[in-house]
Chain A
């Protein structure tokens, strides 16, 4: 049985494909079978067109090196494991305190394919900034924490032995460029890696901050039928994982028993996969309270949309509308789903739902966590519709504290207008108003935006909003920051090119 595991962060996605050991599977019919044989590993890094791809040797080397380099970054003590050119396919070099060079020596291709077996591939080099490096480390750590994927590989941290340790003043010294030993080693290593380079250049990393050029899934096979939807290739990286802030404080909570575990693709038939999920959602709903507050539902509705929309790539293959009832925890993670119509049951693999089920390794769940239910419809025209299962009981309000000072609101209003005005130009292709709710903090930095009408959903890429949001949060689908007081505005982009920004007066 083919199994996929995905660990996604805003700047890095690790995708593992493999098989489970047949003898073990026979013994335990697990919902989330163990990936015990790794076939293929892919690592997508934002700003880099090509994923790093390899087999088990590459992957093991990657996790060893990344883990060792993370330790070096935290302690400022040279960690030999991170720079082992002789025996590792992957190495990491420090360029300065905010730039880190990931070097991958490709596995030799079998002689049959290669016309001249003596040609050595030049190593691939990718320069990461600290945030990108962290996302890579975090993806690796989430893999380590996942006991159902290659359980024999686990996080083993050991202090570097004294032999390698620098003087005890390393912390301070690093503030002055780099300790001399490390930097000269790095220079030597970089210089050495350039010597055998033949004219064929490795894919050069692009330096823009733009993070969404790499889609974690293979490009869709066909473009959507309905021209109104933005092309799937343009959608940002799926950030299924909530930011680490969401981790609950108590790290000793026992894992819940009733939560479903499944990220299996593709099982022999769709039915056995759907069955456990059905029971799980139902059991779950019997045991836990349901979220019914209209405002919270509205916020969750968006989070669910933001998860599913970019992940739904093959939009034109559906013959029928697929309808699901989806259970969502308060942090927006999808904890269960149930097919509502028969087609939905059979075609669940054509939706991104199985892949979006929360990964239990990412965070621990509190038992009896309340759940919200949504009706999720994948229409055959390629449109995604999400609404609360029981509708809204009241008019929803925007959650969180608000900035009320009239002067400040007026200032922010002007500031927001000029920020958007400056970055919005060109001739609009849409023919109807695009209406958004946009929230900013007291400094005028965008904290959240929400499309209010259908054309706003369809043409959001024409507005500067996703870029503004992404430049602050690293991803276009990051959970909005609502810890500080915000000022909310209604922003209307008109087909004439006019822009309107007015204080928010609630949902209509």
Chain B
């Protein structure tokens, strides 16, 4: 009898246990409760770049939340939107903390999405590199210009241009640079330790 009783926890772990996949990301040694400002911004931008690469990218976030058993953390579209609106540069910025667990879930999903897009990311970066060497404007490549255009459109429609941090990003050219830089960061997310690297980097300068 005792035996069967002691086995129960293995069969049905208590509801509050977090999905195992999040254990790959260590707890940061930060004092505050939620994620620092730069982390909230960076996560949102990475997801924005994914959406610009892939139509239906935000739907894919929810699909992966389901597949990776993170539904408890990212429950639905509204929930996801509220998390992303914790990015201080959003037009619809909500003064709500982004918890460490939520951030982990978003990072895990972003990296899985990025891995799925590895080939495209690599190709676009190579094209950008070659066009840059030949001094051809990036827009002349159809695939690249699709990505850049979508990124700029997403960025402009969602970010608040009156934020002082965004004053520097006042031209298409500068937004393109940001888009290409994010593409490079996405490539790094696809690597063997990409997820851990992205995660730890979010707390650079905060501990």
Q: Which residues of A contact B (CB under 8 A)?
A: 70-75, 77, 79, 97-98, 129-131, 134, 137-138, 141-142, 144-145, 155, 157-162, 164-166, 168-176, 207, 209, 243-245, 247, 249, 251-252, 362, 443, 445, 471-474, 481, 483
Cβ-neighbour of A171 out of B24, B38, B198, B207 (below 8 A): B38
Whether the pair B188, A70 counts as a contact (CB closer than 8 A) is yes
Q: CA A209 – CA B125 in complex, angstroms? A: 12
5 contacts across the A-B interface (CB closer than 8 A)? A155-B196, A168-B205, A207-B133, A244-B118, A251-B21
| B residues 85-115 in Cβ contact with A at 8 Å | 89, 112, 115
A residues near B206, Cβ cutoff 8 Å: 159, 162, 165
A177 closest partner in B (C-beta): B177
The reply on B61 being an interface residue by CB < 8 A is no
Q: CA A171 – CA B185 in complex, angstroms? A: 11
Distance between A500 CB and nearest chain B CB, rounded to angstroms: 27
Cβ-neighbour of A247 out of B20, B68, B115 (below 8 A): B115
Whether the pair A175, B168 counts as a contact (CB closer than 8 A) is yes
Kindly name the residue among B112, B129, B191 whose own CB sees the greatest number of chain A CB atoms within 10 A.
B191
Given A160-B204, A251-B24, are A443 and B180 neighbors across the interface (CB < 8 Å)?
A: no
Whether the pair B143, A443 counts as a contact (CB closer than 8 A) is yes
| Contacts A145-B192, A159-B202 supplied; 6 other A-B pairs, CB < 8 Å | A75-B204, A159-B206, A160-B205, A162-B207, A472-B126, A474-B122
Whether the pair B196, A252 counts as a contact (CB closer than 8 A) is no
Q: Which residues of B contact A (CB under 8 A)?
A: 20-21, 24, 28-29, 36-38, 41-42, 45, 67-68, 89, 112, 115-119, 122-123, 125-126, 128-130, 132-133, 142-143, 165-166, 168-169, 174-175, 177-178, 180-181, 184-185, 187-194, 196-198, 200-207
Cβ-neighbour of B115 out of A129, A244, A471 (below 8 A): A244
How many A-B residue pairs lie within 8 Å, measured between CB atoms? 165
Kindly name the residue among B37, B166, B174, B181 whose own CB sees the greatest number of chain A CB atoms within 10 A.
B181
Distance between A266 CB and nearest chain B CB, rounded to angstroms: 28
Given A98-B128, A159-B207, A160-B204, are A172 and B165 neighbors across the interface (CB < 8 Å)?
A: yes
Distance between B20 CB and nearest chain A CB, rounded to angstroms: 6
A residues near B29, Cβ cutoff 8 Å: 159
Distance between A423 CB and nearest chain B CB, rounded to angstroms: 15
B residues near A77, Cβ cutoff 8 Å: 201, 204-205
* Smallest CB-CB A-B distances: 10 pairs: A165-B205, A75-B201, A77-B204, A159-B203, A74-B201, A157-B200, A75-B204, A175-B178, A245-B118, A141-B192
Whether the pair A245, B178 counts as a contact (CB closer than 8 A) is no
Whether the pair A168, B37 counts as a contact (CB closer than 8 A) is yes
Whether the pair B188, A74 counts as a contact (CB closer than 8 A) is yes
Q: CA A181 – CA B202 in complex, angstroms? A: 20
Q: CA A130 – CA B186 in complex, angstroms? A: 11
B residues near A131, Cβ cutoff 8 Å: 122, 125-126, 129, 187
Whether the pair A243, B20 counts as a contact (CB closer than 8 A) is no
Q: CA A74 – CA B191 in complex, angstroms? A: 12
Whether the pair B192, A173 counts as a contact (CB closer than 8 A) is no
Cβ-neighbour of A170 out of B38, B117, B118, B188 (below 8 A): B38
A residues near B133, Cβ cutoff 8 Å: 207, 209
Distance between B205 CB and nearest chain A CB, rounded to angstroms: 2
Q: CA A138 – CA B36 in complex, angstroms? A: 28
B residues near A144, Cβ cutoff 8 Å: 192-193
A residues near B21, Cβ cutoff 8 Å: 251-252
B200 closest partner in A (C-beta): A157
B residues near A137, Cβ cutoff 8 Å: 188, 191
Given A159-B205, A162-B206, A245-B115, are A97 and B180 neighbors across the interface (CB < 8 Å)?
A: yes
Whether the pair A157, B196 counts as a contact (CB closer than 8 A) is yes
